[in-house]
Chain A
């Protein structure tokens, strides 16, 4: 018979959990044994419970034998503290009261463990599947791709209410211990109530000032994670999110697509160069347009200068208003096309892009060349493979545009340099965000 101590613990645990339809307390008897199980059936797997606990309970004859069984089963752990028991219960473990013992039986239902296709970082060739929303599955995916004994996995929790399980993965051979320490300290100090996905960390990474660029890479690709592990990066897996966080991150990582290594060398290089040119264009072009039409039209050869001036002939306001107007429309279009249902998306783009652009030019509100510039900017902006970074870049072009409006060509030049300087200033857990030649972190 249970002692009073176990009885009181049972009482107190049952008092802490609010009564609900899915909270199950079940007593089981045989001739010589008495077992109580307590679990939440919506998050626990009753089949597993039946197979590994209830069935043996009725099959094993002796009371002591069943106790041995319980104690030696790998899925069963012993009682530690009351608080921990309640927490495990809420995560889907079953509490077993047997004789003088309290056991925790791990029978969590692993929902959402289907591996999803990549939707954000798509590539033409190479692996096509991303992470799932289940932490064990994700860990498994990474282990499949990274079968190394030196891969270390540490678990912790983030989030005051959500108590989200977070795993820290790194290769002990390559990872920089200073950086690791900083990351652990950072994770310990994160103050979030509901932690659902890695992207939330982006904002809380800096306490004082908000950085314009993300300094951690959020990815949905297990192959990217595996590659980053081998270069000494530290990976954060979050329960319930199909995205992994890669730390520390440099700007180069944001400009790299996995397709680069799945292509031949020169194709990969070409694509990479293309992306950097796209980045440059999308930042500088609007500012350059304002600076060259309003301040220094003589910079171009005569024919070009004349054709720009000619196309602006009908436009009744200064160039920066024109640029702002069109950029604003473009941002609206981009934003709307994300929100729209997939079926209507193309329509909106057609209406917005083609018809509106055409009409705006004919009405003399903007020049033809402006339309070309705005679409170039919009397209080249999305050449940046990682979304979080390309969104930040969207903001930078307004800063350059503002400087160009006030200072002309000098504004464009200095604005771009300030953008670089700002990126160099940023650091991601002690590693500089942007350097020309990246030093390998795996110094011996």
Chain B
């Protein structure tokens, strides 16, 4: 069992709360979200399996190293790298903008968003420049500290008296509605943590075992179920759609009776602060390393800072101009585009890898 692979997938599963997956799913709860989820599970899982199988045929190598050895056409390489880069960068960007929005909304309503953004950017820029291996170590520590407690919160949610299983069953009866593409795209995001393998395959030195896939399969199902049904259980099948961030509002409905911090939302957000930061960092680290890989010959310090400031610039502009609703709408289309890009890249890459190492 390779734990690094597991961490990458787990991070994405945890982060879907911030990146509007529950919001999108709940919006289509009467219009095919359930079926969409059921379809998304095999799709997402197959994509994850195919890609991780393909890339772990090159143990210890990220995409740039593989490209150096095998890729012949330069323009194809740039196109290939460029599309992945764009996908992972935008995933990080949406998470960042979304979370800054969450923070201003729930923790620091009086603070300017750009100020909040600045501390995030400092931390992110610090982390993404580290070697891949070190980024993984930080991720491991962060997950180690936070996941058990988030698990506890989920446990509290499941065992809460205020969860209405009738609402969940009610939504469940919409199982056979015609699935909506948006829901499929959103739900398949849960599995797409494998995308970061393009770079993080560097730290995975051995072949992945069947266990890895079994675990992520069941975790994915559990995660989707939790993401979708817990807010519905708490807010009712109609009420759930009223919230911009259903999960964060749900965590505010929870109460730890004997804890000095009574409102779960603060604990929840404190944990998510670091998980979000790490999620953005691993996405942007992948993008950054891919960029460096594209122009491997001409790598220099100036270039590095230009790229980093371009990233920060994008983040600043995005935070300035995207308000929650707009970001939400963009995310819906981004999810669909992402799914498309993923399918194309995964299939072409795995076919190529199979032919290369037949």
Contacts and interface: CB of A to CB of B under 8 A. Distances in A.
B119 A407 contact: yes
Interface residues of A, number: 29
A240 interface: no
Interface stretch (B150-158, B176-184, B269-277): B269-277
A304 B269 CA distance: 20
Contacts of B138: 417, 420-421, 424
A322 B140 CA distance: 36
Contacts, number: 89
A338 interface: no
A169 interface: no
A378 to B, nearest CB: 22
B137 A407 contact: no
A173 to B, nearest CB: 24
Nearest to B118: A407
B260 A300 contact: yes
A301 B137 contact: no
Given A408-B107, A410-B107, A410-B119, A420 B260 contact: no
Interface residues of B, number: 32
Q: Which of A403, A411, A417, A436 has the largest number of chain B CB atoms within 10 A? A: A417
B127 interface: yes
Interface in B86-115: 103, 107-108, 111, 115
B137 A410 contact: no
B126 to A, nearest CB: 6
Main DSSP-derived SS at the A contact region: helix
B263 A299 contact: yes
Contacts of B144: 436
A411 B270 CA distance: 11
Contact of B115 (A299, A407, A421): A407
Nearest to B255: A301
A414 B140 contact: no
Contact of B137 (A304, A403, A414, A424): A424
A421 B123 contact: yes
A411 B22 CA distance: 27
A352 interface: no
Interface string B243-284: 000000000000000011111001001100110010000000
A83 interface: no
A298 B134 CA distance: 36
Q: Which 6 A/B pairs are nearest by Cβ-Cβ distance?
A: A413-B273, A301-B262, A299-B266, A436-B140, A435-B137, A417-B274
29 contacts: A295-B108, A296-B107, A296-B108, A298-B263, A301-B261, A406-B115, A406-B119, A409-B266, A409-B269, A409-B270, A410-B116, A410-B273, A414-B123, A414-B277, A417-B123, A417-B273, A418-B122, A420-B138, A421-B138, A422-B126, A424-B134, A425-B134, A432-B134, A432-B137, A435-B137, A435-B140, A435-B141, A436-B140, A437-B140
Given A424-B138, A436-B144, 7 more contacts: A300-B261, A410-B103, A414-B277, A417-B142, A425-B130, A432-B134, A435-B137
Interface of B: 103, 107-108, 111, 115-116, 119-120, 122-123, 126-127, 130, 133-134, 137-138, 140-142, 144, 259-263, 266, 269-270, 273-274, 277
